[in-house]
C-alpha cells in the first residue's frame, strides 16, 4: 500500500468512527434519552472535513498538510469521545443497547462504503469485493432503524428483535478492546 492509499484508508476508518459517534448521539436523542456530552458541533465539522477529503482526494500526493492536520484533530476528538459511548452498565437499558449497537452498525456500513470508494480510486477489485457486502450492511442498518423507530414510538420490540439487538450489543462490547488499536492504526495511516 503506497502512502496515498494508506492515508485514504485512514480517512475511511476515521470517518466510520466519527459517524459512529454522531449516530450514537442521534439515536439517544430519538429514543428520548440525553446523549452524553458528545460535542456534536465538533463532530459535524470533523465529518464535513472528512467528506471534503473524500470528494477531493489527490490519488498521487495524498493528504495536504492542512487536510492531514484536520484529520489528526478529528482523530483526537474521536479518541476522546469514544469511551463515553461504551460505558456498559451491568443491566443496560434498551435505549443504550440501541445507541451502542446502532452506532456500530452504521459505522460498519460507512466503512464498507468508504472501502468501495478506495477501490474506485485505487483498485477496482477492492471496489467489487466491498460492493458485494452492501445488502448485508443495509439489512443490518434497516433493522436497527426499525428497532429505533419502534422504541421512539413507545412500542415494544418482539422477542426475536430483542435477541438480535442483544447479540449486536454484546458483539460491540466484545470488540471494544480493539478500538485503541484501530486508533493507532488510523494514526499510522494518516502519517504515511
| Report field, pTM of the whole predicted structure over 0.85 | yes
**Contacting residues for 16 by C-beta, under 8 A, at least 6 apart:** 107, 108, 110, 111, 114
Number of domains present in the structure of the chain: 1
Range of the domain at 26: 3-191
pLDDT in tens, 148-167: 999 999 999 999 999 999 99
pLDDT tens, 78-124? Answer: 999 998 888 767 788 899 999 999 999 999 999 999 999 999 999 99
Amino acid at each position: 500500500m503506497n502512502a496515498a492509499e494508506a492515508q485514504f484508508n485512514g480517512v475511511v476508518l476515521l470517518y466510520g468512527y466519527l459517524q459512529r459517534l454522531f449516530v450514537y448521539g442521534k439515536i439517544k436523542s430519538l429514543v428520548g434519552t440525553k446523549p452524553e456530552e458528545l460535542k456534536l458541533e465538533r463532530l459535524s465539522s470533523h465529518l464535513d472535513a472528512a467528506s471534503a477529503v473524500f470528494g477531493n482526494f489527490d490519488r498521487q500526493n495524498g493528504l495536504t498538510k492542512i487536510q492531514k492536520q484536520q484529520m489528526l484533530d478529528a482523530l483526537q476528538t474521536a479518541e476522546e469521545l469514544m469511551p463515553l459511548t461504551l460505558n456498559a452498565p451491568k443491566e443496560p437499558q434498551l435505549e443504550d443497547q440501541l445507541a451502542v449497537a446502532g452506532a456500530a452498525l452504521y459505522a460498519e456500513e460507512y466503512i464498507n462504503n468508504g472501502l468501495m470508494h478506495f477501490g474506485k480510486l485505487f483498485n477496482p477489485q477492492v471496489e467489487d469485493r466491498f460492493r458485494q457486502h452492501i445488502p448485508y450492511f443495509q439489512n443490518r442498518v434497516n433493522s436497527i432503524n426499525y428497532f429505533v423507530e419502534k422504541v421512539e414510538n413507545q412500542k415494544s420490540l418482539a422477542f426475536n428483535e430483542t435477541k438480535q439487538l442483544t447479540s449486536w450489543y454484546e458483539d460491540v462490547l466484545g470488540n471494544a478492546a480493539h478500538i485503541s488499536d484501530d486508533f493507532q492504526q488510523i494514526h499510522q495511516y494518516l502519517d504515511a
